Structure formats: structure tokens, C-alpha cells
Amino acid sequence: MPNMVDLIIKKRDGLSLSPQEMEQFVSAVTKDDIADYQTSAMLMAMFLQGLTPEETVVLTHAMTHSGAVMDLSAIPGKKADKHSTGGVADTTTLILAPLVASCGVPVFKMSGRGLGFSGGTLDKLESIPGFSTALSPEAAIALCKKSGLVVMGQTKDLTPADQKLYALRDVTGTVDSIPLIVSSIMSKKIAAGADTIVLDVKCGSGAFMKDLPSAQSLARQMVQIGRSLGRRVSAVLSSMAQPLGLLIGNALEVKEAIAVLKGETGGDLLEVSLELGSRMLLLTDAVSSVEEGKTLLRRQIETGAGLDQLERLITQQGGDAAVLKDPDRLPNAAASLEVRAAKSGYLCAMDTASIGHTSVLLGAGRVKKTDAIDPAAGIAMAVRLGDFVQEGQLLGTLYARNDGLCAQGAALFASAFTFSEEKQALPPLILDIIEEETK
């Protein structure tokens, strides 16, 4: 086995690691056979020198198999999964997962918790009284086999190498490396066992990827890696120029998802959910085109089949399904504050990140993984890009556990809006599609 210092020097000098060397590095990380300072040095060398496509494939494969890999063969049919790179009011999973499952495509979703203003699906679902995501793999598989849909938390033995590498990347300034991001995301998705994966890569002020070329590069590499490792994958690049939905925060986003599935509201949140959901159907061969998929999903809303599937999900995982008929059974905030416009004009830009940071300040998100969240905290948006806003008109309502938190969030929230005298062209919602056939 080569000396780890030799491997660090090799990568530092811009040379490619062989498959055996990359696998040895990941194995050493997994088994704690390498000191953190050496792992950090290797990560910095990878960050500065980059990884070849071949190195990225091997790294992803090694990370995938550093721990348990889910075997979903007991669930009939082609299993679908979806991953978002994170955004504000990005509630698509709660809408598209029931819709897709109601079409007969099993959706096995292993989700994470929110960090920063990127909300976690687990936190949203756990704002439903009684809902549990703490399932063993065996229990999750049994539930999905029975109902066609399950949402569980990530198990500790899933991609342990990634857990260790990410913890060090976070504190060594090596997070912003596309090959390392790709291997982190795709190793978890592949280890989760689904046959097909649809990626929602967010781009804009409220996203990790701020510009389109970076988002396109990330999406292409993830699609290519997935295909190299035997999965059918496609990616949708969607805008985070403004919050995707109107409600931001865990219980609030559940309320909006219920309203969408009831056909009571639509907008950008519904459109992105349909785009992603239709591609989940397409990759599993349930439909022959994206348009056919969208038509089918809209019909599942109209007939109530999607809402019925959400009810089955909530019930099977111990939640109070009565929230579907009475959303006020969800947690409600003790304090609220309306924020109004200080001037008139056309709303031409939003600093979506500042809106997201406001929600964190109110208690809806975490700064550290160990932070507790307030499921009732959040924001109800009252305006969208392109609207003409009068001075004094409502921009949004802040919700928190006390008046002090609302007051703290008001200035940051108000600063997120930019107005112009003339109406500006709206940015497109879907920025690009990276198909599974990408070369």
C-alpha cells in the first residue's frame, strides 16, 4: 500500500490518482487509518488541482460502498428518487412524491435535515404531529412495498466516508469543489438504492450555485456520474431568483403542499413539481413524454389521488392525517409581524438568500446541525417578482415564538426587495434541462 503522504504529494502536483490509490484513500478515511490533517491536505489538493472524470467516478463509487447500500429489489417496479441542491420554500418533495407514487411508481426517499436556509424534508414532515422518519431500512422497504411511498432519515451506516469527508470540507474551505460536491451527493443517492434519480439543481441568489454555468457544470457531472454507475439520471436547473413557494418554514410549507395537492394553489412551486415529477415518471418508463407525465400528474391532483397518497404516507409513519382537512392542527406561531413596503414600484429583484436567512433568524432553520428548530416559525410571502407594489403594501408576514425575533427579522427581510420605476422582464423558472443522454 502506498504511503499516504506520497498520494497527497501526487495529487498536490496535479497528477491523477489511480483507481486503486483513490479506493485506498477512501478506505483509510472510512477506517480512521488516516489522520484528519492528512485527509484535509488531500481534500485541499483535490480542491486546487481538481479531479478527472475518471477520478470522480472512482471516488463516488468508493464512497458509495464505504458503508451499507440499500437493496430495494423487494419493492416491485423501477424505484424513483429525487434530490434538490437546496433552496428557499423548496417544498417540491411533499408534492411530487405523493403524486408520482399515486401513478404506480414506487418512491423511496431517504432525506436529510435542513442546514442554513435550505430546509430539510425530514424537518417539514416532522412538523406534522406524530410523524416519524426514524425508520430502519427493513421497515422502510416494507412500507414502500405496501404503499408505494416512504420517506426516511439517512442511516448512519450510509456512506460513512462522505460523512467524514464533508465534516472536514466544511471547516477547511474545500466545500466549493464541483467534483467533491458531485461525489458527495451522488454517493448518497446511489447508496439509497433507487433505479432512477431526478436532480433539481437550484441556481440564483437563494441557491448554492449562484450562476448558470456553475449550475450546468454541476448538473452535467452528476448526470454523467450517475449513468457511469448504472443509474438513469436527468437534471432540471430551476431558478432561485425568488422563493419557490409563498410559504417558508416547516409547518408552513406542509400547509402549502397540502393546498397544492388540493388544487387550491399553483404557481412556480406547482410548475417545478410537475417538471420534476414528470421526469421521474419518464425515467421509470411510466410515460413516454414529459408532457404526458405532466398531464397525468395534474389529473392526480384533480381526482385527489395525490392527496390520498400523502394521507397514506402520513398515516403509515405515525402522523396525524387530520392535518389534511384541518391544516391548523399543524404548529402555529405565538407571534407574528407584518412587513410593509417603504416605497412604491415594480418588484424587480429579491435577495432570496436574505429572505432565507430571515427564516433562520426566526427559528425555521439551523446554523449548526445540532440546533433545534421551531416548526411553526417562518414567512408568508405576499408579493412576487414583477408585481407593482404600493408604498405600505404588505410584503410578507413573519412568524416566530416571540415578538423579539419577529422584530429582529423585519429589517433583514425588508432589505431583500428591490424596486424599479418600470417593469422588468421576469427570469425564466426552468433554466436548463440536462437529459440522461448527456455525453
The reported pLDDT for the residue numbered 439 is 39
Instruction: Please indicate whether residue 184 is annotated as part of the active site.
Output: yes
C-alpha 175/C-alpha 165 separation (Å) is 10
Catalytic residue from among 79, 188, 294, 312: 188
Instruction: Please indicate whether residue 61 is annotated as part of the active site.
Output: no
C-alpha 190/C-alpha 60 separation (Å) is 9
Query: What CATH number is associated with residue 352?
Result: 3.90.1170.30
C-alpha 192/C-alpha 317 separation (Å) is 19
Instruction: Please indicate whether residue 188 is annotated as part of the active site.
Output: yes
User: Is residue 67 situated within a structural domain?
Assistant: no
Residues 134 and 280 in one domain: yes
Residues 130 and 223 in one domain: yes
Residues 256 and 338 in one domain: no
pLDDT along the chain (439 residues), means of 10: 87 97 96 95 97 96 95 96 92 97 97 70 95 95 97 90 90 90 94 96 90 94 94 96 96 98 96 98 97 98 98 98 97 98 96 95 84 93 97 98 97 97 93 75
Residue 95 domain boundaries: 80-325
Residues 156 and 224 in one domain: yes
Residues 43 and 110 in one domain: no
The reported pLDDT for the residue numbered 118 is 67
User: Is residue 394 situated within a structural domain?
Assistant: yes
Query: What CATH number is associated with residue 158?
Result: 3.40.1030.10
Total of domains in the chain: 3
Catalytic residue from among 11, 113, 124, 169: 169
Catalytic residue from among 11, 65, 83, 294: 83
The reported pLDDT for the residue numbered 438 is 40
Instruction: Please indicate whether residue 162 is annotated as part of the active site.
Output: yes
Instruction: Please indicate whether residue 11 is annotated as part of the active site.
Output: no
- Number of C-beta neighbours around residue 46 at 10 A: 25
